[in-house]
Amino acid sequence: MRTRARASAPGKIILLGEHFVVHGEPAIVLAIDKRAVVTAQLRDDRRIWVWSETLKASGYFVNDRFHTQKGEESTEERFEPVYAVAKSVLGISGRDCGVDVEINSSIPISAGLGSSAAVAVASAAALNELLGAGLSKDGVFQLAFDAEKIVHGTPSGIDPAISTYGGVLLYRSGKNVKPLNIQVDLPLVIGDTMQERPTGKMVAHVNGLRRRYPLVISNMMRAGGKIALHSIEALQTGDLEILGELMNMNHALLCAVGVSNERLEKLVRAAREAGALGAKLTGAGGGGCMIALAFPEKLDDVADAIRRAGGEAFTTRKTAEGVRIEE
Co-location of 120 and 209 in the same domain: no
Residue 139 located in a structural domain: yes
> Which residue, 162, 180, 198, sits at the end of a domain?
180
User: How many residues belong to the chain?
Assistant: 327
* pLDDT surpassing 70 at residue 256: yes
Co-location of 176 and 196 in the same domain: no
The predicted structure's pLDDT at residue 152:
66
- Quick one: residue 56, left, alpha or beta (phi over 0 = left, psi -120 to 50 = alpha)? left
pLDDT digit string, tens, across residues 44-55:
999 999 999 888
Co-location of 249 and 306 in the same domain: yes
pLDDT band at 74 (very low <50, low <70, confident <90, very high): confident
> Which residue, 121, 155, 180, sits at the end of a domain?
180
pLDDT digit string, tens, across residues 263-291:
999 999 999 999 999 999 998 899 999 99
Q: For residue 212, what are the domain limits?
A: 188-316
| Dihedral angle computed from the Cα positions of residues 285, 288, 292 and 298, in that order, rounded to the nearest 10 degrees | 160
CB 157 within 8 A of CB 144: no
pLDDT digit string, tens, across residues 143-182:
999 998 877 666 778 889 999 999 999 999 888 789 999 9
- This prediction's pTM: 0.87
Co-location of 32 and 78 in the same domain: yes
pLDDT digit string, tens, across residues 180-235:
999 988 999 999 999 987 777 898 999 999 999 999 999 999 999 999 999 999 99
> Which residue, 136, 162, 180, sits at the end of a domain?
180
Nearest to 16 by CA among 198, 251, 173: 251
Nearest to 283 by CA among 310, 251, 314: 251
Residue 156 located in a structural domain: yes
How many domains are there within the chain? 2
3-state secondary structure of 84: helix
Co-location of 166 and 25 in the same domain: yes
Co-location of 154 and 38 in the same domain: yes
Residue 285 located in a structural domain: yes
The conformation of residue 318, written as its DSSP 8-state character, comes to B
Residue 113 located in a structural domain: yes
Q: Is the dihedral of CA 154, 156, 157, 162 positive or negative?
A: negative
Co-location of 153 and 224 in the same domain: no
The catalytic site residues sit at 159
CATH number at residue 298: 3.30.70.890
Co-location of 205 and 268 in the same domain: yes
* pLDDT surpassing 90 at residue 82: yes
* pLDDT surpassing 70 at residue 130: yes
Q: Is the dihedral of CA 203, 207, 212, 218 positive or negative?
A: positive
Residue 326 located in a structural domain: no
